[in-house]
Amino acid sequence: MSNKINIAIIGATGLVGNMLLRILGERNFPVGNIYLGASERSKGKKIIFNNKTYSIYTVEEILHFDVDIAIFSAGSSVSLQFAKKFEKKNCFVIDNSSAWRMDRSKKLIVPEINSSEITKEDKIIANPNCSTIQMVMALAPLHKEYKIRRIVVSTYQSITGTGIGAVEQLENERNGIYTQKIYPYEIDKNCIPHCDDFTDNSYTKEEMKLVNETKKIFNDNTISITATAVRVPVIGGHSESVNVEFYKDFDIKDIFTLLNNFSGVTVKDNIKEFDYPMPKYSENKDDVFVGRIRRDFSQPNTLNLWVVADNLRKGAATNAVQIAEYIVKKYF
């Protein structure tokens, strides 16, 4: 990637925004000019990137600059308000919010699985939800080989998925300080079976994202999926217990081989050495880690997996930067 790319980060002051900057540097992304955007109240604040200091702009101000790729991580309302304005300026938009994920005209991309779907005309590209990304990464090679009939997934999700306020709530509670709650209950020493808002069907939006986004990424509406999403007092990443039923039977050795050979997935499964994925291990790593791989003996063709990933990296920022890298390689 020799061409220098003018890039904008919308939501640069948030947890994902900070991680985006870190990953752009780590991966030596060919940044030309970089424009950092946030809300009006953050205008003028300073952020250091690649040993240079940059001022925060409003999104409206960034629209006046020459931007090749804009990565949005400022929530659905901001994306809905501004993404199409950047699109009109012939700028590629990679959106981390839920605004465009289920829009039939927009691609929902995990690069290791379906980056080839991106065309030059796809100016707004959706980044899937963090919990969806890690699950489909683990299931993609298995779906290709055995075809998935049904998925039952329970998530154990890091508070970092909620944002800086949630991290502050946990830290304050652990220090005996009880201030404004981001969650409806204390999160320290607790598990809250409630991620995102509840919908009319009694599932939360987070649970329905796992259902709907998985079907879209795999381009397969025949898969039956049910999910329970739980918030846990963890910093490092999201964990998922995944029970998956296939149409075809499998050999466990072949499952290990398929997962080991899939880019972006690392098998961590040696129960004799108590070696299995944990969020503390996944923190600051880009791979999706899979362990506790075992046959479900209660019914045919069914497998249990434990899937862990850093939700701020592969679950959000890294996936977005990988999409940007693909766009640069193909269209710049």
Give, in words, the CATH class of 131-311: alpha beta
- Burial (Cβ within 10 Å: 0-12, 13-18, ≥19) of residue 175: exposed
Selecting among 91, 143, 195, 238, the annotated active-site residue is 238
pLDDT of residue 179: 82
Q: Per-domain residue ranges for the chain?
A: 5-127+316-331, 131-311
Binned average pLDDT, 10 residues per bin, the chain of 332 residues: 86 96 97 96 93 96 98 97 98 98 98 97 98 98 98 98 95 91 95 97 98 98 98 96 98 98 98 97 97 98 98 98 98 95
pLDDT of residue 1: 44
pLDDT in tens, 106-131: 999 999 999 999 999 999 999 999 99
Active site residue 91: no
Per DSSP bridges, beta strands 238-246 and 148-157 are: antiparallel
**What CA–CA distance (Å, rounded) separates 308 from 158?**
11
Question: What share of residues in the chain are helix, strand, coil (percent, to 5)?
Answer: 35, 25, 35
pLDDT in tens, 139-192: 999 999 999 999 999 999 999 999 999 999 999 999 999 888 899 999 999 999
- The DSSP code for 275 is B
Selecting among 130, 143, 191, 195, the annotated active-site residue is 130
Within 10 A of 229 (CB to CB), how many other CB atoms are there?
27
**What CA–CA distance (Å, rounded) separates 306 from 268?**
10
The CATH number assigned to the domain with range 5-127+316-331 reads: 3.40.50.720
Active site residue 130: yes
**What CA–CA distance (Å, rounded) separates 7 from 131?**
26
